Structure 1
Amino acid sequence: MNDYWLLFSSAFISSTLFPGGSEVLFVYYLKQQFSLKWGFLLVAIIGNSLGSIVTYLLGFYVHFGQEKAAMKYPKTLLFCKKWGNVALLLSWLPIVGDVICLFAGWLKLPKTTAFINIVIGKSLRYLFLLALVALWP
């Protein structure tokens, strides 16, 4: 049970504006206890998705730091403006994925679609890692 909490915490924190590497922990747990793969997958997806949703909500409601982020990542902001909620399918990307979520909230992109696209993007990433571990034990 502690493995699930640690994975959830790692996945949550690493999908906010704080650095982290939940993928490494996810793969480690899969290598150690592959029979629990579906539990690990679900926990990682939920934790990582919730972290990105919190980042989106910070952008939507709090409005701090966006100007600095916009100056640091102007191409990411333009990408979010151009593609809207579809951009959130890439929320799994290192570094800019968190910024995409922040900008999506800042731009007031529709919440329901945003949350669905975040979950889809995060799910695809962890499913890909699960497939890699399954194919190359």
Structure 2
Amino acid sequence: MEAWLYNLLQWLALPEHGLSTVFVIAFISATLLPMGSEPAVFGLVKLNPELFWPAILVATAGNTLGGMVSWWMGWGTHHAVNKWRDSSTHIRALAWLEKRGPKACLLSWLPGVGDPLCAVAGWLKLPFWPCTLYMAIGKFFRYLVMTALLLWVFPGQI
């Protein structure tokens, strides 16, 4: 098992397979696992500046697909949360999300609350494709801004 994991990590290592690494990390980090993908994007772009736009687009795609998985997880667990249906926090959160609809998924880029927000959008059965579109927009701008800022703050560090 350890050899398999070592070989997988070696295959995904930057920069040989950088875009695939960014995709996998961005995908996994968009699920409910506590992981950030920005360091991988930044590292790849720092090592290969010509991959700025491909890295942003691949990270956006991976993170959006991960958000879509979170949406489906939320949709699938709709009936599991019936026990706290009447809590005041639950009622306020539902009212807020229902008022904003799929546009609330623009906030899917936020650390800590963005990925669960995608799951809750699925649980509320908000329309899948509009949610996906807003997730992609929010995540694209997160990667664009974060990577550009990091490149600006650390211009010649490598």
TM category, shorter: 0.7 to 0.9
Equivalent residue for 1:108? 125
Identity between Structure 1 and Structure 2 (%): 40
Aligned length: 136
| RMSD of aligned alpha carbons | 2.2
Quick check: 2:60–2:143 contact (8 Å CA) kept in 1?
A: yes
Q: Deviations over 1:45-91 (max 9, x none)?
A: 100000001100111234376568987x7465443233211110000
Deviation at 1:29, TM superposition (A): 1.2
Aligned residue identity for 1:13:
I
Equivalent residue for 2:44? 29
Q: Deviations over 1:18-41 (max 9, x none)?
A: 111101111111111111111111
Tell me, in whole angstroms, the C-alpha distance in 2 between the residues paired with 1:48 and 1:21: 10
Tell me, in whole angstroms, the C-alpha distance in 1 between the residues paired with 2:40 and 2:70: 22
Q: Does 1:83 align with 2:100?
A: yes
Taking a change above 3 Å as real, the CA distance of residues 48 and 8 of structure 1, as seen in their structure-2 partners, is same
Structure 1 unaligned spans of 5+: none
Higher gyration radius (CA) = 2
Aligned residue identity for 1:20:
M
Structure 2 unaligned spans of 5+: 1-15
Alignment of 1:49-68 (within 5 A): 49-63=64-78, 66=81
Tell me, in whole angstroms, the C-alpha distance in 1 between the residues paired with 2:100 and 2:134: 12
SS, match of residue 91 in structure 1: helix
